Amino acid sequence: TTTTTTTTTTTTGRGGRRASAGGGLMMVLFSVVALGMGFVVESAHGARMLTQEPTRRWMNHLLVSHPEMQCTQIPMKPVVIGGDGGGIGKSFEDFLRDSNAVTFGPVDEFGNSDAERLSGLDDIIVDIMAWAKRPLYEPDEMPAALQADVAKHLCDMFARQEKWLHPDLTSNSLSKSNDVGRWGWKDPLAMYLLPIWRDVYGSSVTYIHLVRDPRTLPLGNLHDKERDLQRAYFGKDRWEALTAKFEEEWSHLELHSQMSGVKKSDVIDLLRTTAYWTSVNFEIGALLQGPLKKFGMILRAEDLAQPDMDHFRVSKETGKTPEKYQAAQKPIQALASLLDLPPSIFNQLADFTYIRDNLKRFTVHRSKFTYRVNSPITDVQTRIAKKALELYGYETSSSMFVPDHPDTAGDHGHRVTPEGEHMHEEHTYTPDEWTALPTKVLNADDHTEHVLGTQLKPTKRIELERLKHTPEETEQSREVLAHLKQAREKNFILENAKVGGKSLKEMIDNL
């Protein structure tokens, strides 16, 4: 019944909302060409992304018309961490949590959000990719049945998040006067839902895209769900064309003595995964470095892990090799600025001594990000992913990635997936026995008893709750509030303006 009704709603009047957005829409066209391989990895079709706050959002439009979904959206300003961090994602999440920068809810052993995974949302990503064939798409343009399915799973996720989100976080995160950071969640598969997060939360969401060099992916044991996702994304014809091309590459690779004992199927999986990485990450990377630069950022896992490779840390501008903590300091400071944190948290997170003292969290994973430049597999991967690697600032010099002679003995130099693990070591998936949360028994006027949960359906509940705790406004109270605002602004300047590495506040305190 819900799906049928949604069909009527989403096919009438949907174009009007986008048409009225006018200049808020931007057409982003990308085409990824894997040079030297003789084929094109087509990641890009037109993707219209909102670069301004929309007046009405897809989720809002859908649920206002369908109160029977009983969906509650919890507070704005989430921090969403997506992408493949190659095992470094959980350490990054722990770092943000321990720094009081971001509060996370229940997670699994890899730090992935229970709310997203147990809501079954990652299961329908395959359906979204089968339809969109790209990571950037318009939620409005999804088939009506798919829109209803996505909305149902989102409602389930919101309900799970609402159970752990602390009320103080929401009330305080709106003010820089309190030492409370942001809230959020991590899931590698969140990268496929970028347009959804943007549509639901508008410009208040911050997306952090973890990325790793695909040449460090381990060989073997690709998860069946990852393979299904790639097949859905590429489509039958492209999948078969890529497979045929990589089988041709295998006919050359198997001539290398170093490849003895390597399974053909594992190499085909790895090369297809590299092509998939190229297609998806080029489109997301170009967007985050372009029109939505203020909406999120790219964080290379290697910038935190600092792998022991001669070419990695050498500055192309100066030719010098900085200390590991100095190389990690730049992206962490950029992150601290992007998150718009309270002054005390910002100062701690951006401080070089704090970064230096916490670097071991990441460098313990260093071995996962080191590869041999003269490996025959690495040479092929470099040619496949060249354009995307260059976009992310990874080395692609043809003079560096030259495979050893086929007769050279020894190992192929590629990391092999450990027994019992999968190629994407940080990915987790919804259990096969997943079932949705039971529908709550609700009052007629309220969708939730959580006073800080903001309904997508218009309501005065939050406003009324705030008025209960707000004293009557007088001329004297307005003057006090104005003085407090000025004091906070001055204090912010004193804490953030630095001279010789010290804030003005510290210098004044030491006088």
Burial degree of 487 (CB within 10 A; 0-12, 13-18, 19+): exposed
Task: Enter the tokens of residue 218.
Answer: 């381990």
CA–CA dist 224, 427 (Å, integer): 12
Residues 6 or more apart whose CB falls under 8 angstroms from that of 258 comprise 375, 376, 404, 408, 409, 410, 411, 412, 413
Give 470-500 as a DSSP string.
-PPP-HHHHHHHHHHHHHHHHHHHHHH-EET
3-state class of 41 per DSSP? strand
Residues paired with residue 72 on neighbouring β-strands, in sequence order: 455
CA dihedral 178, 182, 93, 207 (to 10 degrees): -150
| Residue 94 CA to its chain's centroid (Å) | 16
- Give the global pTM: 0.76
Residues 6 or more apart whose CB falls under 8 angstroms from that of 121 comprise 150, 153, 154, 156, 157, 193, 430
pLDDT at 316: 65
Q: State the residue for tokens 């406004």.
A: 473
Contacts of 288-296 spanning 24+ positions with Cβ under 8 A: 288/207, 288/209, 289/391, 290/28, 291/26, 291/28, 291/49, 291/51, 292/49, 292/51, 292/198, 294/203, 294/338, 295/198, 295/203, 295/205, 295/206, 295/207, 296/206, 296/207, 296/208, 296/209, 296/338
The one-letter amino acid code at 380 reads V
Burial degree of 509 (CB within 10 A; 0-12, 13-18, 19+): exposed
Would you write out the chain's pLDDT as a tens digit for each of its 511 residues?
333 333 333 333 222 222 222 222 223 323 333 333 433 344 333 344 445 554 457 777 776 777 777 776 666 788 999 999 888 999 999 999 999 898 888 888 888 998 888 888 778 899 999 999 999 998 888 998 898 888 888 888 887 776 666 554 544 444 444 555 788 999 999 999 999 998 888 888 999 999 999 999 999 999 988 999 999 999 999 999 999 999 999 999 999 999 988 999 999 999 999 999 999 999 999 999 988 888 899 999 999 998 888 777 666 667 677 777 777 888 999 999 999 888 888 889 888 899 989 999 999 998 899 888 999 999 999 999 999 999 999 999 988 899 999 999 888 888 899 888 888 888 887 777 666 555 443 343 433 333 333 334 334 544 565 677 677 888 888 888 888 888 888 887 887 777 777 778 788 878 7
Q: Are 511 and 504 in contact (CB under 8 A)?
A: no
The one-letter amino acid code at 216 reads T
pLDDT at 182: 85
- Strands (DSSP E) along 35-151, which ranges? 39-41, 47-50, 72-73, 78-83, 102-104
pLDDT at 455: 38
pLDDT at 9: 32
Using alpha carbons, select from 10, 194, 210, 251 the residue that is nearest to residue 95.
210
Task: Enter the tokens of residue 404.
Answer: 């050893």
Using alpha carbons, select from 82, 504, 93, 101 the residue that is nearest to residue 333.
101
- Strands (DSSP E) along 293-400, which ranges? 296-300
Using alpha carbons, select from 238, 228, 196, 223 the residue that is nearest to residue 80.
196
